[in-house]
């Protein structure tokens, strides 16, 4: 999954996005943090101001919409060695964790987009739907 995430240039990737029914996602590291695996993650605290920021998703390519999410989050999970850990993060890490946990619960950004965004992206959504139906 880490390799797939990097190939797609994603910030994260959830198991359901690649056809796996696991409660697991991965996130891309940076200069300060390594790539990370989250197994059975639980968001234990969502706090702070609700921030409106643009999000994209590998499951719905080409769609970028503003999504409102809490500014900070705490997450508990297990790593690939089954070691439990807890992380707290603000802004981008918190947003990525919330986005990927949404995938584990069957929620996409199209489910969270504002009605005006749904109208603005109607054509692209129909094209994606038709493409998925074709296989």
The residues that are catalytic are 100
Lookup: tokens for 44: 């234990």
**Residue-by-residue DSSP string for 37-60:** EEEEEEEEEEEEEEEEEEEE-TTS
Lookup: tokens for 30: 């940076």
> What distance in Å separates the CA atoms of residue 58 and residue 100, rounded to the nearest whole number?
11
> What distance in Å separates the CA atoms of residue 13 and residue 20, rounded to the nearest whole number?
11
Contact yes or no for 31/49 (Cβ under 8 A): no
Lookup: tokens for 75: 């997450």
> What distance in Å separates the CA atoms of residue 93 and residue 61, rounded to the nearest whole number?
21
């Amino acid at each position: 999954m880490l390799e797939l995430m990097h190939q797609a240039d994603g910030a994260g990737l959830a198991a359901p996005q690649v056809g796996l029914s696991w409660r697991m996602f991965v996130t891309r590291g940076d200069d300060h943090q390594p790539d990370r695996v989250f197994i059975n993650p639980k968001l234990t605290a969502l706090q702070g101001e609700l921030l409106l920021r643009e999000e994209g998703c590998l499951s719905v390519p080409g769609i970028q919409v503003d999504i409102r999410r809490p500014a900070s989050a705490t997450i508990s999970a297990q790593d690939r060695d089954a070691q439990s850990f807890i992380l707290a993060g603000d802004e981008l890490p918190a947003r990525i964790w919330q986005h990927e946990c949404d995938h584990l619960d069957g929620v996409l950004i199209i489910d969270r987009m504002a009605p005006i965004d749904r109208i603005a992206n109607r054509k692209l959504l129909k094209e994606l739907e038709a493409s998925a139906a074709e296989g």
